[in-house]
Amino acid sequence: MTDKPLTFQGLILKLHEYWSQQGCVILQPYDVEVGAGTLNPATVLRALGPKPWRVAYVQPSRRPADGRYGENPNRLHQHHQYQIILKPNPENLQELYLGSLKAIGIDPMLHDIRFVEDDWENPTVGAWGLGWEVWCDGMEITQYTYFQQVGGLDVSPVAGELTIGLERLSLYLQDKDSVYDLQFNDDFTYGDVFLANEQQFSAFELDVADVATFKRQFEDMERMVPEILNSRGRQGQQLVLPAYDHVLKASHLFNIMDARGAIAVAERQSYIGRIRDLCKKCAEAYVAQQTEAA
Amino acid sequence: MPQLLLELFSEEIPARMQAQAARDLERMARDKLAAEGFLPEALKTFAGPRRLTLVAEGVPVAQADRHEEVKGPKVGAPEQALEGFLRKNGLAREQLIERDGVYFAHLHRHGRATPQIVAEIVESIVRTFPWPKSMVSGTSKLRWVRPLKRILCVFDREVVPFEIEGIRSGDVTEGHRFMGSGQPFQARDFDEYQDGLARTFVVLDAEERKERIMDAARTLCFARNFELVEDEGLLDEVAGLAEWPTPVMGDMDPAFLDLPPEVIRTSMRVHQRYFAVRDPATGFLVPHFVTVANIEAKDGGATIAKGNAKVLSARLNDARFFWNEDLSKTLESRLEKLKGVTFHAKLGTMFDRVERITALARDLAPFVRPDGITTQKAEQAARLAKADLVSGMVGEFPELQGIMGGYYAEKEGLDPEVVDAIRLHYRPQGPSDAVPVSSVAATVALADKLDTLVSFFNIGEKPTGSKDPFALRRSALGVIRILLQTRTRLPLRKFASDDLLAFFADRLKVLLREQGQRHDLVDAVFALGDDDLVRIVSRVDHLDRFLATEDGKNLLAGYKRAVNILRAEEKKGPLPAGEPTDMAGAPPEESGLINAVGHAEIELGKALDREDFEAAMRELAALRASVDAFFDKVLVNSDVSAERDNRLRLLVKVRDAMGRVADFSQVTG
């Protein structure tokens, strides 16, 4: 590790610089609420179809159920994932990844880096893959996955996905116990930037949000996805991208209802299934579009 | 003779799959080599985090020429059949030989060069390897457990040339990911290969990796007067996670020692793959752990120890949060939540199951111990036994079910027998697991397992072949072991259907066979319709001992002889009914047997009534001389029909008398 550890934004900038050198598009965060970087269309949709793709981006990820009113040192209603997609995954993806660790100051001759089996799946988007959790001194710092299916469809070529929890990695690099004590840059802490958000959104999502409204909105989204897919754009194409936005909105609305404790155990699977079906429709339309274009 | 060396080098193979992969590689290579006529002098495989390796010694440079005669179609068979046969074997019609109306072909196959065959074998192994889960990567079509990077394949110090989905075979591999030089190295035989790996910090053999871990971990502990808490399963796993496994000791905040030791150990093992460390004098955990790193770090492991300690603290903080939260609620108050937990789609919720187990415990308790207090405590324990399933800790560590319930019950100040029953009711969980023997715990453990068995049998979910998704065999074995060990006289039929009863009989047979007993005797005893396992096993025991004696063996022979005669007679018509009589002029051996069997019948009845199987066997033994003498001197099939009928009646009486002890016709040998 370097003498002065990277700040939170320093870490992001280093990763941007490194992955930019690997030919990645450095994308800005997607502007619809998502629960994980994977859900960003730059991953879920771009992983489908035959076209190559390389991207890296930070994705603020909202997990309403994890909100702790800003009172827990590492549980957040919104954390930040650094997401990298290389499609097709190059043969040396592991080496590229280890190179990124060196770039942010993790020396593999000083730290114990290991690849521990972890098969990733995300049932709401019908996606799964094989890979590992990457451990650094016993801490999971990265989810490393070779996608096999997305939206219930086999993928070819295969994309390699790297997901890094930025707060957790930063806690490690800065040797801090609370996210709020992280240096965001030299002058501001993470708490300066995000504590108020955590306090207010936790209260809203856990205690205040009106379930009836969210339920109604969920049903609206569910109805709109096929309607949007049935419409055509000026060039005669299906409007897959806007349709998928509405899947994301449905997913986030579900997460809030879940955080409010409004989803019974028996209903859960059914909600997840409904979102997956919507996602599958978009995935199929997207693949058809890509294959046509190619 | 030449040597074959193969290495399949990939990205990190899941630890849990490595040992089986080494076995599969060995089996496939052996079978495929044998199919080509090769029987290597020695064949060994290795598996590690990044490589599967095979070395075969004594493989000849080429196959021997083979001569064989192949049978073709019959002379006069349809033309297509003949043409097909010729085409398949690459022959012309004049090469066929006709013998006994059938065409034969003599094939002379020239042995092929070994490298050519090895190339085919490796390709077939790679393409059909039975990984539990496999994947594709990039644009390749090749399925492997994780991306396959290189194939090293040398025979007799030469590269065996081939290419599989763009991966070209070679004589090159690489060492440790970080500690190796980073440069691939060449290996033309197993010695060079092993040297190269040793130089680049890779321990090839899983057993050696385990030894390395245990030696170093014990040394670390010993130096500080501690003792490693050994854990075979964990050792297997960590030995599959590092090519150069290097134990490092780290510190834990001693404040966490107020958590139950099972929680600390499970958190260490499940989340972090750490070994726990204890004080050899007291057996209590000490605030340290051993992690197994993959490098010898340049700072001696200080950074690694510090980092791991920090992670463990976060984990144990979570655990403490669950512990405190869980203690703020009684088990009773958790029952409501069980209504929201589905046990099985056709068997209702966990709460439904609790109600069934509670009712069963109430019915079973009087058989385990006929006092009201056992029934009352068993009911209470059964009702609370599953409540910990909805606690935070068990949600996090499902393997602590029961154990946590026990802690929570204890903290609530419940009766110690109730606490024990909650803690132990999942036992025995395997053949080597201890059986709960105190009456309350045994009752609840029985109720838990019987409910599982009865419920799944009711919905037709019986185990078939190797499929037993609900571990019903284990449950049945648990019931049997508890009943036998606590000597509980349970009329199983009151609780189990005929199907389930037969299932118990099967499991009992397996158990007795494992204990080295004859299992055919179980059938012989079960055939009597008894459903009290304690009595059944006692009868089987005594019968087994009896049949091992001279008297037993001879009596069994006599019995079989009698039954054979009766069976033959039964084919001709119904056997004569009634009692045999001591006819005037009958040989003394006939009269003797009538007396003996008459006496035995009465005495057997008395002995069996008091379940004195020892005495029953003595009565049988006493019968032996008379049976032997009878068959020796008396001809059953007399010309005089009255004599014959009388003797048949006598044999029926012998068979029936013996039949009260066991169905001897089911005894083999």
ipTM of the complex: 0.94
Residue B190 above 70 pLDDT? yes
Higher pLDDT, B212 or B638: B212
- Decide if A109 and B272 are in contact by the 8 Å CB cutoff: no
Of B500, B516, B532, the last residue of a domain is B516
Same domain, B186 and B55: yes
Residue B127 above 50 pLDDT? yes
Residue A294 above 80 pLDDT? no
Domain of residue B163, residue span: 3-62+114-199
According to DSSP, the β-strands at A78-87 and A113-117 are unpaired
Beta bridge partners of residue B511, listed in sequence order: none
**Residues of chain A with C-beta less than 8 angstroms from the C-beta of B137:** 88-89, 146, 158, 160
Structure tokens at A71: 């009172």
Quickly tell me which residue has 């012309």 as its tokens: B92
The whole-angstrom separation of Cα B33 and Cα B121 is 8
DSSP secondary structure of B10-34: ESPPPHHHHHHHHHHHHHHHHHHHH
* Residue at B478: amino acid letter: G
Residue A265: its pLDDT value, please? 67
Average pLDDT over residues A208-234: 95
- Decide if A157 and B139 are in contact by the 8 Å CB cutoff: yes
Q: What percent of chain B has pLDDT over 70?
A: 100
SS3 (DSSP) at B150 = strand
Structure tokens at B129: 């390897």
* Residue at A90: amino acid letter: P
Residue B116 above 80 pLDDT? yes
Beta bridge partners of residue B43, listed in sequence order: B56
Residue B466: its pLDDT value, please? 82
Average pLDDT over residues B476-494: 95
Helix (H) or strand (E) holding B228: strand B227-228
Residue A173 above 50 pLDDT? yes
The answer to whether the CB of A202 falls within 8 A of the CB of A70 is: yes
CATH number at residue B350: 1.10.3210.10
Residue B669: its pLDDT value, please? 64
Cα-Cα-Cα-Cα dihedral sign, residues B152, B155, B157, B163: negative
According to DSSP, the β-strands at B246-251 and B185-186 are unpaired
Domains of chain A, start order = 8-203 (3.30.930.10), 209-293 (1.20.58.180)
Q: Is residue B531 part of a domain?
A: no
Q: What is the pLDDT of residues B593-640, one digit of tens each?
A: 999 999 999 999 999 999 999 899 989 988 989 999 999 999 888 888
- Decide if A74 and B298 are in contact by the 8 Å CB cutoff: no
Q: Is residue B532 part of a domain?
A: no
According to DSSP, the β-strands at B66-74 and B102-109 are antiparallel
Q: Is residue B560 part of a domain?
A: yes
According to DSSP, the β-strands at B285-293 and A53-62 are unpaired
Average pLDDT over residues A29-56: 96
Same domain, B582 and B652: yes
Residue A266: its pLDDT value, please? 66
**Residues of chain B with C-beta less than 8 angstroms from the C-beta of A89:** 137-138
The whole-angstrom separation of Cα A180 and Cα A198 is 10
Q: Chain-wide mean pLDDT for chain A?
A: 94
Would you say how long chain A is, in residues?
A: 294
Q: What is the pLDDT of residues B504-551, one digit of tens each?
A: 999 998 888 888 777 788 888 888 888 999 999 999 999 999 999 998
Query: DSSP letter at B384?
Result: H
Q: A241 CA to chain B: closest CA distance, Å?
A: 25
**Residues of chain A with C-beta less than 8 angstroms from the C-beta of B273:** 116
Average pLDDT over residues B147-159: 97
The whole-angstrom separation of Cα B383 and Cα B414 is 13
The answer to whether the CB of A62 falls within 8 A of the CB of A149 is: no
Cα radius of gyration rounded to whole Å, chain A = 19
Residue A73 above 90 pLDDT? no
Q: Is residue B428 part of a domain?
A: yes
Residue B68: its pLDDT value, please? 80
The answer to whether the CB of B388 falls within 8 A of the CB of B419 is: no
Sequence-separated (6 or more) residues with CB below 8 Å from residue A287: A48, A49, A153
Residue B645 above 50 pLDDT? yes
Residues of A within an 8 Å Cβ radius of B? 74, 88-91, 94, 98, 108-117, 119, 129-132, 136-139, 146, 148, 156-158, 160, 172, 264-266
Q: What is the pLDDT of residues A131-167, one digit of tens each?
A: 999 999 999 999 999 999 999 999 999 999 999 999 9
Residue B69: its pLDDT value, please? 84
Same domain, B412 and B436: yes
The whole-angstrom separation of Cα B261 and Cα B278 is 10
Q: B302 CA to chain A: closest CA distance, Å?
A: 9
Nearest to B138 among A132, A138, A158 (CB): A158
Q: What percent of chain A has pLDDT over 70?
A: 98
Biggest alpha carbon–alpha carbon distance for chain B: 106
- Decide if A158 and B291 are in contact by the 8 Å CB cutoff: no
According to DSSP, the β-strands at B148-155 and B158-159 are antiparallel
The whole-angstrom separation of Cα B573 and Cα B648 is 12
Q: What is the pLDDT of residues B384-395, one digit of tens each?
A: 999 999 998 998
Q: Is residue B523 part of a domain?
A: no
Residue B513: its pLDDT value, please? 84
Q: Chain-wide mean pLDDT for chain B?
A: 93
Same domain, B597 and B661: yes
Instruction: Give the count of beta carbons closer than 10 Å to the beta carbon of residue A240.
Output: 23
**Residues of chain B with C-beta less than 8 angstroms from the C-beta of A114:** 241-242, 294
**Residues of chain B with C-beta less than 8 angstroms from the C-beta of A132:** 12
Q: Give the Cα-Cα-Cα angle B189, B143, B3 (nearest 5 degrees).
A: 15
The answer to whether the CB of B172 falls within 8 A of the CB of B152 is: yes
The whole-angstrom separation of Cα B25 and Cα A142 is 31
Beta bridge partners of residue A81, listed in sequence order: A59, A165
Average pLDDT over residues A117-139: 93
Beta bridge partners of residue A145, listed in sequence order: A131, A161
SS3 (DSSP) at B327 = helix
Q: Is residue B630 part of a domain?
A: yes
Least confident interval from A77-81, A212-216, B343-347: B343-347
Average pLDDT over residues B114-130: 97
SS3 (DSSP) at A163 = strand
Quickly tell me which residue has 């500080």 as its tokens: B224
Whole-number Cα distances in Å, B202 to B22, B169, B196: 17, 21, 9
Average pLDDT over residues B33-40: 93
Residue B210 above 70 pLDDT? yes
- Decide if A115 and B12 are in contact by the 8 Å CB cutoff: yes
The answer to whether the CB of B276 falls within 8 A of the CB of B229 is: yes
Same domain, B7 and B73: no
The whole-angstrom separation of Cα B306 and Cα A200 is 35
Average pLDDT over residues B222-249: 96
- Decide if B178 and A94 are in contact by the 8 Å CB cutoff: no
The answer to whether the CB of B226 falls within 8 A of the CB of B277 is: yes
Q: Quick one: closest CA in A to B312, which residue?
A: A138
* Residue at B490: amino acid letter: L
Q: Is residue B538 part of a domain?
A: no
Residue A1: pLDDT band with limits 50, 70, 90: very low
Q: Is residue B470 part of a domain?
A: yes
Same domain, B397 and B504: yes
Residue B71: its pLDDT value, please? 87
Give all strands (DSSP E) within B58-101, no chain letters: 66-74, 96-99
The whole-angstrom separation of Cα B182 and Cα B179 is 8
Of B199, B214, B245, the last residue of a domain is B199
A290 closest CA partner among A237, A226, A252: A237
Same domain, B57 and B194: yes
Q: What percent of chain B has pLDDT over 90?
A: 72
**Residues of chain A with C-beta less than 8 angstroms from the C-beta of B139:** 88, 156-158
Least confident interval from A120-124, A230-234, A270-274, A290-294: A290-294
Angle between helices B114-128 and B15-35 in degrees, nearest 10: 140
Of B516, B535, B562, the last residue of a domain is B516
Same domain, B426 and B442: yes
Same domain, B55 and B151: yes
Helix (H) or strand (E) holding A288: helix A265-293
The whole-angstrom separation of Cα A44 and Cα A60 is 16
Same domain, B222 and B348: no
Average pLDDT over residues B150-170: 97
Whole-number Cα distances in Å, B400 to B62, B260, B267, B393, B603: 58, 11, 11, 8, 54
Average pLDDT over residues B341-354: 89
Q: How many domains does chain B have?
A: 5
Average pLDDT over residues A1-24: 91
According to DSSP, the β-strands at A53-62 and A25-27 are parallel
Picking from A2, A87, A110 by the largest number of B CB atoms within 10 A of its own CB, the best residue to mutate is A110
Angle between helices B416-424 and B372-384 in degrees, nearest 10: 50
Long-range contacts of B498-502 (CB under 8 A, 24+ apart): B499/B457, B499/B462, B500/B453, B500/B454, B500/B457, B501/B531
The whole-angstrom separation of Cα A100 and Cα A103 is 5
* Residue at B459: amino acid letter: I
The answer to whether the CB of A157 falls within 8 A of the CB of B138 is: yes
State the distance between the two ends of chain A, measured CA to CA, in whole angstroms. Answer: 45
- Decide if B137 and A108 are in contact by the 8 Å CB cutoff: no
Same domain, B503 and B386: yes
Q: What is the pLDDT of residues B413-428, one digit of tens each?
A: 999 999 999 999 999 9
Average pLDDT over residues B571-587: 88
According to DSSP, the β-strands at B3-10 and B51-57 are antiparallel
Same domain, B606 and B478: no
The answer to whether the CB of B149 falls within 8 A of the CB of A95 is: no
Would you say how long chain B is, in residues?
A: 669
